[in-house]
Structure 1
Amino acid sequence: MGSRERIQRMKDENRMNILDAALQIVKEDGWQALSMRKIADIIEYTAPMIYEYFPSKEAILTELSAQGFRQLAKKMREAKMNHEQPEKQLEAMWLAYWDFAFEHKERYQLMFGVGMRACEAGADCEYSKTHADLVNDVIYEIMKEKAPSQEVLCRKYYTFWSVIHGLISINLVNIGLEDEDEQQQLNQQILKDAIYGITRSLVD
């Protein structure tokens, strides 16, 4: 490996260390606690060194959000590939979306502004629409005999998303039953009922 490659690998590692440290802070103390100084303390860098990789805290938030959208699209794409029937694909993709939200709740909060301001630059990144495109493709397959317009596809997608995102948001801000097991069972039933009901509306 040449010196140029080693330097680039070191830069990539430093960049990832900064992002990992940011997430560590957020998981421990919340997004409001994140600062360039705290990141520097964790990874034992000087603050000016961090600015060599990210010009601002907003730039870090943007990258974390973009990473989240890439991860979400990958998870939903994998869920889709496990099924051949479009209706099953749709259910699997939304269940994968649900799982992602709770496996990576801090990222999800940032990506969609749950309990905080969303990262606007991250939401506009090239990956932020990918999961919606994946869902819309399957919705079209289910509805193709009706030759749905883009307006109809968009409306159906947002019907799904508003219900599922709403339920996720309620849970992320801890509004629900005190018994966690009971809440989880209720959530799963509501989620599956919503997916089934809206999916049925696509073919009726």
Structure 2
Amino acid sequence: MNNKDAASVHQLRSAYEGQKTEAFDLNAAVAKPLELHRCTVKPEWVDYNRHMSESCYLLVFGDNSDAFFRYFGVDDDYRSGGHSIYTAETHIRHLREVALGEPLRLTLRLLDFDHKRLHIFHEMVHAASDTLLATAEQLLMHVDMKAGRTAPFPLELQTRLDVIRTAHAQDPRPADAGRVIAINHSHPT
């Protein structure tokens, strides 16, 4: 990698980098779903088809994940201790085109977790019209970065995640969660 490539990689930052986790109240109501991230489609996100490039959907969903991490206790200070959360799998559904300058509102549901993994579901909604634009489902892993392998969440974070999962389990599971990519030959388009 040359210096120009290294500089461009260094410029990619989460919208939440540097933001601290706020105190988590185990007795406070948890929003169902969580609404932690909003943004507007930037010029650098628009491609040659004049709508948001597919890679930028993942960028926006990633920022939503980062907002969630800070919500339950994973921020820059936490990561400085040698642990972080990595993505193992992502499934994005692009439902509507999104144009330059359009306002986006993101929601997030914690579908499940265990001592090392999170299963989350995002919805990207047009903030003015409430039109569902895209969904993303992710499997994330808690990682010991020094050891280079998965590691259990600390008990304090598992307790917070349990509070969130319990709240989110009260609503029906999103219809798009768990979808499989396949061509259904019995229903030609």
TM-score with structure 2 setting the length: 0.29
Choose between structure 1 and 2: higher helix proportion: 1
Flag the structure with more relative contact order, 1 or 2, with Cα contacts below 8 A and sequence separation at least 6: 2
TM-score with structure 1 setting the length: 0.28
Choose between structure 1 and 2: higher strand proportion: 2
